[in-house]
Structure 1
């Protein structure tokens, strides 16, 4: 008999795989299904941002990603026949001060392997054909490729079933936003020329936009607009068509060769107004889709699930109160809305064929990006380390430590321990519960199964209570834990 899962995860892309990986690591019985019979072999999403790498490194996946991926340390902006500006990722306050370029198929493979080491296998060729929510569980009807059907009863469902989410459609939930006007040509190929392999290269011209992403060893991802139909109507543009797009926009001579695959796509910019519907949670493309500008989407989906999983695990085992689950949406929706708005604005600016807007952008970009303050604001946002849950309900009353406030990302700083050695802070975290980092050995009474105590000799002002997803839960001065006790009593048993 098939084990009844506490959580059914639908969709085995990066979002669903992260959900299943986190939940199973936290001791939750989980089943993950995907309607595709085989994993995808195409590169699709490439950019892995600093925040994602920080979170996945301590979860057993990040080191392999770093080993396999190609690091881009800057973005260069070209126009008027030359390089006019750029972003320097070295300004990012993270050990991972770069964008890692890694094919999505490789990211999914690494997540799947880690999931397997935790004893969970993806059920492929399985499609959701019906769903009924009840007060204490969800009944989901599944169908396999050979037509066999079964009904699964789960405590909760995570819908990570893509932009066209059948679960979202079945429940009749809104997916607000719009389709952007431009059509794009996409391709993976090799490039021989002077395009650097350690930067993202973006080319702007009045008759088109082109971005080239280095994947290492001469391989590049090519993305371009084709406003006047230079590449014709084929759904899979050939190498000659892509070379023509490159030649008319880029001032850097290069020969394109060995096209692996190509396609056309259109950008949709939408997000849900609620990430929870009863016992069903939504994440990744099922909850938000947007422009690929800046490589944000896959990272947002992974971080959705790292935010949700610890809360769901603690509610299921009775350590936390049920309202904690609502903080998944109140944490993530403002971040998602900002991300959708940011990528939509960037797309409108860089992809415009307006001569006036093009002239304005190419004149102002060098002036703005030459300012350190602009770089210091833009780079952390691109790396998603600037994303914060400050002001959300879960951060309310959590206090502060210096400039760090409840809901902020905790930096992975180096700290000294009571034993006299030194570690990265994230290596000291207990990812199954809250971690109290303090210079004393004091801990609030009655929360032993909820809080792990880590005594440090430096690197932390007062005490920090850190969530399993690496954000500050609460903080306060040495010897005064009233803020912590009040915060804990609100959310936990």
Structure 2
């Protein structure tokens, strides 16, 4: 086969998103996966608001919304009943809930979209070694029948999981630790008083238990088992899981129909770097952490949306190679924060200390009684508050209203100069930056690259009332730069710094 521009190793949600994005942007890709067939188990369940915002204009969000079960709150319980809840309707997004769907279904939807774009996952093919060169990477592949080949893509994306062969081959360290608690996991049916439109977390004196509704009476069960109620070997049984539930949960329920169960320990780690020469790390190859909050799969998908437009522009010769360095400078601080946050949440929920338990059960209702903190908690859970302020791609980017360069641009209602009422996210060019201009755009066009799409707006009340304002939006919906007509030099500096001059 011809050498692709990009080889992607791993066909989980991270690798599939990379292949989908890059192929949509006209990049020649190959995607390989060691497993001979897609996984049939549910694994990661939660699709967060920010991920839905990114996937909807890319052709798969509507199908995920059709298939998934929506949870409108995260409720905390203790022995005496409900303590409080995080009201997800307070998220600053149209998708103000957690969408719950089997990872196997998410992967199927992504794979089908990838197929419509002319790319097929090569299964039963693994990376065994690689060597980097000045203009390519020699990647050794071995198929299930023992046949080997060497391909020489210009770049490689490692989405091959926590035990990534590629990450190890690059020598990038995987920093962190294994957390102490052992967990019980299972998919089962439940009849009782547990709502199917919320995430239910039960805080017990002997650890915690969480129940996630997957629709039609089916639930994901996760719990700590510090004193071995379910044993210490083999997969947990339905009877053992029922014992854990009865001891910890404040809502009566009968469990049945156990589809699968397992035990696991949490590794909380992240790669020291996300780029090693021509190799980029994403998803579990770059970060693994507690499942608290359902953040991991979403972070991997967002890794690839961040990387793909940059890689496509550089490969097309429309952006400077330095743009690729901003994948790490954008995403690594977000990943570090995510690993820290999930560790802290896990420590608080899992503690068997009477003092810690008492503090958590007393303080949580007081904290979440404040609307401002409710909004903050909901936006953080939905990954809406993660951004790139202060990163090189946002430096000297200015601000507009409350938005600063690096922030996610909200999907505000806007009116175009033609009088059309649109949603802002639907106006973004997904292949390159979009300049959103209020008023006369002529003063801003000098020195503007053809890689930048210009959209003229009559108004966007939620963003600004300034008739001379402009926003430069990235393809992933974050603010690159902003200002007024008097700040045209700021726009020109950004374009000159990151994009290549147009060919005469």
Measure how far apart 1:384 and its partner are.
Answer: 0.4
Specify the SS of the correspondent of 1:58: helix
Please state whether the residue corresponding to 2:16 is helix, strand or coil. Answer: helix
Name 2:450's counterpart in structure 1: 449
Q: Which residue in the other structure is 1:392 paired with?
A: 391
Task: After TM superposition, give the deviation of residue 417 of structure 1 in Å.
Answer: 1.3
Partners of 1:278 and 1:488 in 2: CA distance: 24
Determine the structure 2 residue equivalent to 1:125: 124
Deviation at 1:184? 0.3
Q: Say if 2:472 is the partner of 1:468.
A: no
Aligned partner of residue 186 in structure 2, secondary structure = strand
| Inter-partner Cα distance in structure 2 for 1:59 and 1:280 | 25
The answer to whether the 8 Å contact 2:367/2:373 transfers is yes
- 1:477 maps to which residue? 484
Kindly provide the CA deviation profile for residues 453-476 of structure 1, in whole angstroms up to 9, marking residues without a partner as x.
111111153111100111011111
Question: CA offset at residue 171 of structure 1?
Answer: 2.3
Offset of residue 375 of structure 1:
1.1
Matched, 1:221 2:223: no
- SS of 2:363's partner is helix
Q: Distance in 2 between matches of 1:170 and 1:448?
A: 38
Q: Is the Cα contact below 8 Å between 2:449 and 2:495 reproduced in 1?
A: no
Q: Give the corresponding residue for 2:379.
A: 380
Partner of 2:5: 6
CA distance in 2, matches of 1:29, 1:91: 41
Provide the rounded CA distance (Å) in 2 between the counterparts of 1:144 and 1:304. 28
CA distance in 2, matches of 1:447, 1:13: 38
Q: Give unpaired runs (5+ residues) of structure 1.
A: none
Q: Which moved more, 1:363-372 or 1:196-205?
A: 363-372
Structure 1 range deviating more: 210-219 or 471-480: 471-480
Matches within 5 A, 1:126-165: 126-165=125-164
TM-score after normalising by structure 1: 0.98
* Partners of 2:289 and 2:342 within 8 A in 1: yes
Q: Which residue of 1 aligns with 2:242?
A: 243
CA contact (8 A) 2:448 2:492 kept: no
Deviations 1:80-115 (A, max 9, x none): 231011100111110000000011001101111111
Q: Deviations over 1:233-274 (max 9, x none)?
A: 233111111111101101211011111111111001000111
Return the offset for 1:411: 0.5
Moved more, 345-354 or 436-445: 436-445
Within-5 A mapping of 1:430-441: 430-440=429-439, 441=441
- Cα distance in structure 2, aligned partners of 1:81 and 1:240: 24
The question of whether the paired residues in 2 share the 8 Å contact of 1:81 and 1:250 is answered with no
* Distance (Å, rounded) in 2 between the aligned partners of 1:381 and 1:362: 21
CA distance in 2, matches of 1:35, 1:326: 28
Q: CA RMSD in A?
A: 1.0
Query: How many corresponding residue pairs?
Result: 492
Report the alpha carbon displacement of residue 446 of structure 1 after superposing the two structures with TM. 4.6
SS at match of 1:228: coil
Residue 489 of structure 1: which of 477, 482, 496 is its match? 496
Per-residue CA deviation, residues 339-373 of structure 1 (Å, 9 max, x unaligned), is 00000000001001111111111111111111122
Name the TM-score, length of structure 2 as normaliser: 0.96
Counterpart-to-counterpart distance in 1, 2:25 and 2:450: 13
Cα contact 2:275–2:325 (8 A) shared by 1: yes
1:326 equivalenced with 2:322 (yes/no): no
Gaps of 5+ in 2: none
> How many angstroms does 1:479 deviate by?
5.6
